[in-house]
A and B are shown apart, each in its own frame.
Chain A
C-alpha cells in the first residue's frame, strides 16, 4: 500500500466529503424525516379508525381511513423522493470528486504521482470515489430516520401513555447498554481487522502475480506459506473478534428486535387495560408506533459497518486532495529570450528523507546544440530530464529556459517551447490520428500524415486495417514497442517545439524497428536544442556536449574523445559499454568474443 507513505491529514468528519452536494443531501434527509413523521401519523390515524369502529360498529370510519391512506401514500412518496435525491446527489458527487481529483493531479508535482503510483491513484479516483455510494446514497436517509424517528416515537408514546413509554424505553436502553459493551473494543478491533486484511491482500497479490516464479522456483513453502500465514492470522483475529463480541452482539440483537418491545407493551398494556387504567384505542396506538424506536435504528446500525469502510476511502481521497500543488508563477507573463537551457547550482531530492538525487548541478545548453546525459543508473540523468518539464521544483538553485526561471513561466508558455519523448511510450485508447494530434488539436490531417511520414510511421499506419483511424492504446496492443515509439515521435514532430528532451527514447525497440526509430529521431532533432538521456554510448559520440553524472553530481563534461582520453567516469562507462557490446553467450565456456564488424559482412 503506497498510501501508508503519505502524511495523514487530521481526521475530519467524514460528512465533509459531501460538502459539494450538501444542499441536496440535506433535502433528502429532511424528506426522509417527513416520511417518518407521515408514517407515525398514519399509525395514529389507524388507531383512531379502530376506536371509531369499536365505538360505532357498522359505520365505516371514512375520515380516519382516508387519513391513513393519504399519510401512507405521502410517507411512501416522500421516502421515494428522499431515496431519489440522495442517489442523484451521490452520482453528482462522484462526478464532482473525480473532476476535482483529476484536476488536482494535473497540478501536483509529477513526483507525487510517480511515488504513489498511477494504479494506486486510479484506484482512488475510481474505486474509492465509488465506495462513497453506500454512505452518501443509501445511508443518509436511513441516518436521518434513525436519529429522528426514535425521538418522535418517544414523544408520541409519552403523549399517549407515559408508563408504556417508559417500558419501551427501558427495553431500548438495556439493548443499547449491552450493545455498547459489544462495541467497547470496536476501534481497536477494526484497526486490527484492517491490518490483518491488508496483510492478506498483500499476500494474495504476491501469490497470484508471482505465480510463474512460484511455479518454477518455489517448491511451495515460501510463498504459499506466507499466504497461509496471513490467512491464519486473519482467521485468528476474526474468530477472536466474533468470540468476544458474540454474546453481547447476539443479546442486544435479540433485545432490539421488535418482539421484546412488543411483549413488554402487551404485558404492561394488558394489565393496565384489564384494570381499566388504559383505553383500548390508546393501547392500540402505542402498539402500532411503539416498536418504531428499535426498528428505525437497526438498518442504520447494520449500515455502520459499511460506512466504517467508507471512512478509509474518504481518508484516501482527502490525502490526494491535500497534496500541495506546484506554486503558480509569482511574476507571470515572461517569455524566454532564446532556446537555451541553464542549470545553476541545482540540488534536488525526491522526498524529504531521501539522499540528494542532484547536488549543485550547473551547466548550460546553448541554443541549437545537442547535449547528452550519461552515467550509471541512479546517477541523476533522468532526474535532470524530468526537472525540465517541471515535474518537480528544485530544492536549491534554478533552472532557466531562455533566461527565465521555470517557476516564473506559465505552464502553457513552458510547453510551447519544450517537447518530450519519454522512455515508456504511452498511447491513449483513441485513434492513432488523435494520438499524434495530442497537444495540437487544430492540426489538419495533412499535417498529421506529414509528421507520421517524418517519423517513419506512415507506412505501417497505412497498412493497418483502418489506417489512421485505428484505435491504439491498450486495445491496440498489436503495435510493437518501436512502432508505438515512432507514433510518439510523430507527436513530438507535429508539436514542433524548439527544445526537445529525450529520455532514453530507443530503449525498448527491437532491431528491425530500431533502424526506423533512429531515422525518425534524426528527423525530429533537426535544428532543435536537444537534451537526451542515453545508455548506448555509441549513439552520442558526436554530441556537442556530454554531461557525465555520478551519484547526483556532474562529474565530467566535454566531447566524446576528450572524455575517453581523460579516463575518468566516462572512460569507465565506455569500457563497460564496449565489454557488454561484445559479450556473447556460450555455455561450453569457449568464450568467443565476437566483434560486430568482423563477424558480419555489414557495411
Chain B
C-alpha cells in the first residue's frame, strides 16, 4: 500500500465476478442489460433531433409522429433492459451471492494459519471485512448502473447525433468521455488524499481509545476533558487534514465535472455560431440543447459516487487477498500417533514482521504422561512453544513431532483431537452452559458432560444458575466469576479427553478462593496426560518432570527443580526473587 496503485477496471471486474461465485453469469447478463439500457436511452434521446427537424424545419407531422413513436419504443426497451438488469438485486441473487461469499470467507478463516489471524488488529480487520461484505457489494449494481448511464448514454447519443451533424456529434464524443482520463489522472492524487485522511482517522481513533481506556488514570491525575492535550491536539490535527484533504481531493472532482460542463457549453456556443453562419439547422441545435442538459445530472451523480466505487474496489481487493491465504500444507498424511511424547527438534521461529526470532534452535523431548513446565520472563518464547505445538504456524527451521509423527503430516482435525488447552483468558460462547462444555465432543452423552463438569468442580454453581444447564451465558454476562468461567473451560477440556494438555497460566487472574477450586479441577484434567504448563508461580511446578527455562527465545536451562537449584543459574535467581516477594508484607515500616 506504499505505492499509490490503481487497480485496472478490468481487474476489479474480474474480482467482482469471482466474488459472486456461481452467480457470475447472471451478473454478467445483468450488467449487459444495464449497459444496453444506457445505450438505448442514449438512442431514445437522440430521436429528439429528427423530431425537431420534422416539426420545425420540414413541418412533416407523420415523420414527427414516427420519431415520437420510435423514441417511446426505445425508452420502453431501455426501461425493460434496466428492469431485467436490476433483477440481480431484486430477485435476491446479490443477497445470495454475498451470503455465499461470507460463508466462503468464514470457512477460509477456519482453514488459514491461525498465526495470521491471531494478532488483535488483524482480528478486528477480519471481523470488519466479514461484517461489511454485503454493505460494499450491495451498492455495486446501483453504482455500476449510474456509471454506465453517465458514460454510455452520452456516447450513444453522440454517435447518433453525428448522423445529422458530424461536428456536434464529434464535439460531444470528444468532450464527454474526457471525464474518464481526467478522472483517472486525478485518481492517484485522490487516493493519496484518501489514504492520508484514513491515516489521520486511524490516529485519532487510536487516541480516542487511549483516552477512554486511560480515563480512570487521567481523571485521577486531573488531566481529563479539555486538559487532555494530546487528544485535543489530535482532534485539531484531524480537522486541519480534513480541510486540506477536501481542498485537494474533493474539489478536483467538481473541477472535473465543470470542465466537462464548460466543454458542453462551448460546444453549444459553437453550435449557435454555426446556426448564425447558416451551416446548422436551428432545429438540430435546439434538440442538442434539450439532450445535452440531460447529461449534467448523471455526471454529477457519477462523481458523487466514485468514492463508493473506491470502497467497493478496496473491499474486493481485501476479499481476494484473504481468500488467497493458503492453509498450512499437510504432507502425505501418516498414521495417527500411538504414543504422545512430544519432540521439538532444533526449532527456530520468527513471527511475520518481527525483527528477531521468537524461538531460536529450541530442542526438547517431552515424554508421554510427563509434566513439563515452561519458565521465563514475558517475551521469552514460552507462548510461542505452545502455539507451534498447536500449529498456529510452522517453524521456519526444525521439526515438531508427536509420537514420532511430524505435525506437518497430520491433518488439522487429527492434531486438534490430540490437544486440550486451558487459556488464561477464558472464552465462553453466547450459548447454554451445556453447549459450551459439550462443544468439545458433540456426541458426548449428558452423563459424560455431567461427569466432566463434576470433575471440574462446576456442578454446584451450575445448579445454582437460573435455568441450570440451559442458562445462556450471554444472558448472565458478568454474573459468573473468573474462577467459575475458568472451571467451565476446564470441564470442556476434560470432556475432550485429549492425551496432551496445555495450561497457559490458568490461575494467574484468580483470587485465592477461586484458585483452590480451579486447582482441584486442573488436578483432574492433568491426570495421566502429557502436560505442558506455562507458570509464573514457580512453587506450582516444583514437582514437574522437567522444567525448561527460556530466555530471549533460547532454552537456557532445563532439568528438575532440585537440579536447577543446584545449578545456581537463571532458575535459581527466579526462585530466590519469588521467595523474597513471598516474605514481603506491607507494614508501617515498608518492607519487613
A and B bound? yes
B101 to chain A, nearest CB (A): 10
A218 touches B439 (CB 8 A): yes
Which chain B residues in 530-562 approach chain A with CB under 8 Å?
531, 533, 535-544, 561-562
Interface segment, one of A16-24, A119-127, A311-319, A331-339: A119-127
B429 touches A273 (CB 8 A): no
B110 touches A429 (CB 8 A): no
Q: Does A370 contact B (CB under 8 A)?
A: yes
A residues in contact with B211, CB < 8 Å: 102, 122, 125
A residues in contact with B48, CB < 8 Å: 266
Interface segment, one of A6-14, A173-181, A463-471, A514-522: A514-522
A596 touches B582 (CB 8 A): yes
A80 touches B254 (CB 8 A): yes
Q: Does A583 contact B (CB under 8 A)?
A: yes
A residues in contact with B348, CB < 8 Å: none
Interface segment, one of A152-160, A161-169, A223-231: A223-231
B residues in contact with A579, CB < 8 Å: 516
Q: Does B164 contact A (CB under 8 A)?
A: no
Q: Does B17 contact A (CB under 8 A)?
A: no
A274, B56: Cα distance in complex, Å? 10
B520 to chain A, nearest CB (A): 9
* 0/1 interface trace, chain B 481-506, chain A, CB 8 Å (1 if under): 11100000000110010000001000
B587 touches A69 (CB 8 A): no
Q: Does B228 contact A (CB under 8 A)?
A: yes
A536, B99: Cα distance in complex, Å? 52
| Number of residues from A at the complex interface, CB < 8 A | 185
B61 touches A106 (CB 8 A): no
A residues in contact with B106, CB < 8 Å: 207, 224, 227-228
B201 touches A428 (CB 8 A): no
Query: 6 other contacts beyond A515-B581, A576-B516, with CB at 8 A cut-off?
Result: A58-B277, A242-B89, A259-B75, A420-B220, A513-B377, A583-B516
Task: Closest B residue to A501 by CB, please name it.
Answer: B220
A596 touches B90 (CB 8 A): no
Interface segment, one of B168-176, B267-275, B357-365, B401-409: B267-275
B577 touches A511 (CB 8 A): yes
A99, B537: Cα distance in complex, Å? 45
Question: Assuming the A-B contacts A224-B106, A515-B577, A587-B369, are A95 and B429 also in contact, with contact meaning beta carbons closer than 8 angstroms in the complex?
Answer: no
B residues in contact with A298, CB < 8 Å: 297, 301
Partner of A391, one of B126, B216, B232, B268: B216
Question: Assuming the A-B contacts A217-B439, A542-B587, are A514 and B581 also in contact, with contact meaning beta carbons closer than 8 angstroms in the complex?
Answer: yes
B212 touches A60 (CB 8 A): no
Question: Assuming the A-B contacts A91-B246, A473-B210, are A263 and B75 also in contact, with contact meaning beta carbons closer than 8 angstroms in the complex?
Answer: yes
Task: Closest A residue to B107 by CB, please name it.
Answer: A224
B residues in contact with A535, CB < 8 Å: 511-512
Interface centre among A242, A280, A422, A495, by most chain B C-beta atoms within 10 angstroms, is A242
Q: Does B235 contact A (CB under 8 A)?
A: yes
A52 to chain B, nearest CB (A): 10
- Name B's interface SS: helix
Question: Assuming the A-B contacts A201-B131, A206-B429, A249-B90, are A602 and B575 also in contact, with contact meaning beta carbons closer than 8 angstroms in the complex?
Answer: yes
Q: Does B476 contact A (CB under 8 A)?
A: no
Q: Does B208 contact A (CB under 8 A)?
A: yes
Question: Assuming the A-B contacts A50-B286, A57-B275, are A106 and B225 also in contact, with contact meaning beta carbons closer than 8 angstroms in the complex?
Answer: yes
B residues in contact with A288, CB < 8 Å: 289-290, 293
B210 touches A428 (CB 8 A): yes
Q: Does B180 contact A (CB under 8 A)?
A: no
Which chain B residues in 222-247 approach chain A with CB under 8 Å?
222-226, 228, 230-232, 235-236, 238-239, 242-243, 246
A residues in contact with B583, CB < 8 Å: 538
A210 touches B429 (CB 8 A): yes
A98 to chain B, nearest CB (A): 5
Q: Does A41 contact B (CB under 8 A)?
A: no
B531 touches A213 (CB 8 A): no
B residues in contact with A473, CB < 8 Å: 210
Which chain A residues in 534-586 approach chain B with CB under 8 Å?
534-544, 573, 576-577, 579-586
Q: Does A250 contact B (CB under 8 A)?
A: yes
A216 touches B420 (CB 8 A): yes
Partner of A200, one of B131, B268, B541: B131
A58, B213: Cα distance in complex, Å? 76
Interface centre among B44, B71, B142, B242, by most chain A C-beta atoms within 10 angstroms, is B242
A526 to chain B, nearest CB (A): 6
B residues in contact with A57, CB < 8 Å: 275-276, 278, 282
> Which A-B residue pairs are the 8 nearest by beta carbons?
A439-B221, A542-B587, A106-B225, A106-B224, A522-B590, A246-B90, A239-B92, A602-B579
Question: Assuming the A-B contacts A103-B226, A576-B516, are A250 and B86 also in contact, with contact meaning beta carbons closer than 8 angstroms in the complex?
Answer: yes
B residues in contact with A227, CB < 8 Å: 106
A549 to chain B, nearest CB (A): 12
B residues in contact with A87, CB < 8 Å: 246, 250
A601 touches B565 (CB 8 A): yes
Q: Does A258 contact B (CB under 8 A)?
A: yes
Task: Closest B residue to A247 by CB, please name it.
Answer: B90
B356 to chain A, nearest CB (A): 11
Interface segment, one of A357-365, A371-379, A392-400, A443-451: A371-379
B420 touches A228 (CB 8 A): no
A393, B141: Cα distance in complex, Å? 55
Which chain B residues in 84-111 approach chain A with CB under 8 Å?
86, 89-92, 95-96, 99, 102-103, 106-107, 109-110
Task: Closest A residue to B493 by CB, please name it.
Answer: A217
A530, B275: Cα distance in complex, Å? 96
A residues in contact with B413, CB < 8 Å: 219
B51 touches A299 (CB 8 A): no
Partner of B208, one of A126, A212, A513, A537: A126
What are 21 A-B contacts defined by CB distance under 8 Å?
A94-B242, A102-B231, A103-B226, A126-B208, A126-B209, A216-B421, A220-B110, A221-B442, A222-B429, A223-B439, A254-B79, A287-B290, A370-B588, A389-B220, A429-B206, A480-B378, A514-B577, A519-B591, A525-B586, A583-B540, A587-B369
* 0/1 interface trace, chain B 1-35, chain A, CB 8 Å (1 if under): 00000000000000000000000000000000000
Q: Does B459 contact A (CB under 8 A)?
A: no
A573 touches B225 (CB 8 A): no
* 0/1 interface trace, chain A 487-510, chain B, CB 8 Å (1 if under): 010010001000000000001101
Task: Closest B residue to A480 by CB, please name it.
Answer: B378
Q: Does B72 contact A (CB under 8 A)?
A: yes
Q: Does B58 contact A (CB under 8 A)?
A: no
Q: Does A402 contact B (CB under 8 A)?
A: no
B201 touches A130 (CB 8 A): yes
Task: Closest B residue to A589 by CB, please name it.
Answer: B527
A548, B40: Cα distance in complex, Å? 84
* 0/1 interface trace, chain A 52-92, chain B, CB 8 Å (1 if under): 01100111110001001100100010011001100110011
B228 touches A102 (CB 8 A): yes
Question: Assuming the A-B contacts A212-B118, A585-B541, A600-B575, are A302 and B142 also in contact, with contact meaning beta carbons closer than 8 angstroms in the complex?
Answer: yes
Partner of A580, one of B221, B496, B515: B515
B residues in contact with A596, CB < 8 Å: 539, 579, 582
B293 to chain A, nearest CB (A): 6
A259 touches B41 (CB 8 A): yes
Task: Closest A residue to B128 by CB, please name it.
Answer: A204
Q: Does B584 contact A (CB under 8 A)?
A: yes
Task: Closest B residue to A507 by CB, please name it.
Answer: B509
B210 touches A126 (CB 8 A): no
A residues in contact with B481, CB < 8 Å: 377-378
Q: Does B329 contact A (CB under 8 A)?
A: no
Q: Does B440 contact A (CB under 8 A)?
A: yes
